[in-house]
Amino acid sequence: MPKTRSVAVLVGSLRKASYNRKMALALAKLAPDTLKLGIVEIGDLPLYNEDVETAGAPAAWVQFRGEVKAADALLFVTPEYNRSVPGGLKNAIDVGSRPYGSSVFGGKPGAVVSVSPGAIGGYGANHHLRQSMVFLDVPTMQQPEAYIGGAATLFDEQGGIVSETTRGLLTKFMQAFAAWVEANAKG
Amino acid sequence: MPKTRSVAVLVGSLRKASYNRKMALALAKLAPDTLKLGIVEIGDLPLYNEDVETAGAPAAWVQFRGEVKAADALLFVTPEYNRSVPGGLKNAIDVGSRPYGSSVFGGKPGAVVSVSPGAIGGYGANHHLRQSMVFLDVPTMQQPEAYIGGAATLFDEQGGIVSETTRGLLTKFMQAFAAWVEANAKG
Amino acid sequence: MPKTRSVAVLVGSLRKASYNRKMALALAKLAPDTLKLGIVEIGDLPLYNEDVETAGAPAAWVQFRGEVKAADALLFVTPEYNRSVPGGLKNAIDVGSRPYGSSVFGGKPGAVVSVSPGAIGGYGANHHLRQSMVFLDVPTMQQPEAYIGGAATLFDEQGGIVSETTRGLLTKFMQAFAAWVEANAKG
Amino acid sequence: MPKTRSVAVLVGSLRKASYNRKMALALAKLAPDTLKLGIVEIGDLPLYNEDVETAGAPAAWVQFRGEVKAADALLFVTPEYNRSVPGGLKNAIDVGSRPYGSSVFGGKPGAVVSVSPGAIGGYGANHHLRQSMVFLDVPTMQQPEAYIGGAATLFDEQGGIVSETTRGLLTKFMQAFAAWVEANAKG
B32-65 pLDDT per residue, tens = 999 999 999 999 999 999 999 999 999 999 999 9
D131 in contact with A at a CB cutoff of 8 Å?
A: yes
Chain C residues touching A119 at Cβ < 8 A: 119-121, 149
Q: Please give chain A's pLDDT, 187 residues, in tens.
A: 678 999 999 999 999 999 999 999 999 999 999 999 999 999 999 999 999 999 999 999 999 999 999 999 999 999 999 999 999 999 999 999 999 999 999 999 999 999 999 999 999 999 999 999 999 999 999 999 999 999 999 999 999 999 999 999 999 999 999 999 999 998 7
Helix, strand, coil shares of chain D, percent, nearest 5, are 40, 15, 40
Confidence of residue C65 (pLDDT cuts 50, 70, 90): very high
Chain D residues touching B119 at Cβ < 8 A: 119-121, 149
**D119 closest CB neighbour out of B83, B119, B127:** B119
pLDDT confidence of residue B186:
85
Q: What is the DSSP string of D128-139?
A: HHHHHHHHTT--
Contact partners for chain A, using 3 or more CB pairs closer than 8 A, are B, C, D
A125 in contact with B at a CB cutoff of 8 Å?
A: no
D23-63 pLDDT per residue, tens = 999 999 999 999 999 999 999 999 999 999 999 999 999 99
- Measuring CA to CA, which residue among D172, D79, D173, D177 is closest to residue D128? D79
Taking the C-alpha atoms of residue C3 and residue C35, their distance in angstroms, rounded to an integer, is: 9
- Number of neighbouring beta carbons within 10 Å of residue B104: 20
Mutate to test the interface with D, among A74, A84, A123, A143 (most CBs of D within 10 A): A143
E strands in chain C: 5-11, 35-39, 73-78, 110-115, 147-148
Distance of alpha carbon D13 from the chain centroid: 11
Distance of alpha carbon B103 from the chain centroid: 16
D2 in contact with B at a CB cutoff of 8 Å?
A: no
Q: How far apart are the first and last CA of chain A?
A: 14
Reported ipTM: the value is 0.97
Nearest residue on chain D to B126, judged by CA atoms?
D124
Chain A residues touching C124 at Cβ < 8 A: 123, 127
Fold topology of B5-184:
Rossmann fold (3.40.50)
* Domain extents in chain D: 5-184
**C134 closest CB neighbour out of B106, B145, B184:** B145
Chain B residues touching C106 at Cβ < 8 A: 143
